[in-house]
Amino acid sequence: MSDILRTIRERQSVRAPFDPNRPMSKEDLKQILEAASWAPTAHNMQNFEVVVVDDKAVLEKIGSVKSRISEEFLRENYEQLSFSKEELMKKKTGILGIMFPPEWVDPAKMAEIARETKPTPIFQSIRGSPTLLFVIYDSRKRAPASRGDVLGFISLGCVMENMWLMAQALGVSLQILSSFSAPPVEMKIKKILGVPEYLEIAFTCRLGYPKEPAPYLRVRRDVEDFVHHNRLGKKGF
């Protein structure tokens, strides 16, 4: 197996608490950002900026921003869950429901939970990370003839993947925090970071080192399950 495929297979989203007293080295961070700079972007537009946050005071200010769970998230999240390792290994897609609070995975209570749950500080999402990376999207740099800037969003995905694989190769744990892009949260975060209104937070990464190992059951479809030869429906390669 090639080294790059091994890194791809070992990459994972680490949801465990990080050690706030173990900062990232400047050299490791520089390599992760260097990897971002070499990501392929449509028409070489390089439609992103990265804000690195490692100042404890700024992290605390960001962590104090409040967010609330939505019924839409709970219901769509529920559809992707498995409730046993056996079920997940059979489906080969989605994640284990045991990773979420029990009340989040009861369809009968989802509307009530979303309605009654009070906004909570997002420091719970940061979970001790000593470094956050905010990837900022500049919609003014749209690739030519890209309706809805689909190619621009694909480019941002390439930036994410490059940084993630570099972090994995360096032994740095990473998790994408999608809730930071939710409009009410994004507006407040942009104000803290001095991000102009015309720019958007594409995604946020938390980087660091887990306090203790946090293994997850990771599953993927077999190649034979999604590859079609010469025409759709003709399985095999």
Domains present along the chain, CATH in parentheses: 3-67+122-226 (3.40.109.10), 69-117 (no CATH)
- E strand or H helix at 82, and its extent? strand 81-82
- pLDDT level of residue 53 (50, 70, 90 thresholds): very high
Tokens of 140: 């003014």
**Which own/partner contact pairs does 185-193 have at CB distance under 8 Å and 24+ positions apart?**
185/65, 185/67, 185/122, 188/65, 189/62, 189/65, 189/134, 192/58, 192/61, 192/62, 192/65, 193/51, 193/53, 193/134
What's the one-letter identity of residue 1?
M
Q: Which tops the pLDDT comparison, 52 or 141?
A: 52
Interatomic CA distance for residues 60 and 62, integer angstroms? 5
pTM for the full predicted model: 0.91
Question: How much is the mean pLDDT over the chain?
Answer: 91
Tokens of 36: 């971002």
- pLDDT level of residue 75 (50, 70, 90 thresholds): confident
Mean pLDDT of 186-212: 95
Residue 218 exposure: Cα atoms within 13 Å on the Cβ side: 10
pLDDT number for residue 98: 80
Q: Which tops the pLDDT comparison, 79 or 115?
A: 79
What's the one-letter identity of residue 178?
S
Nearest to 82 by CA among 69, 99, 70: 99
Say which DSSP state 98 is in.
G
Interatomic CA distance for residues 78 and 84, integer angstroms? 14
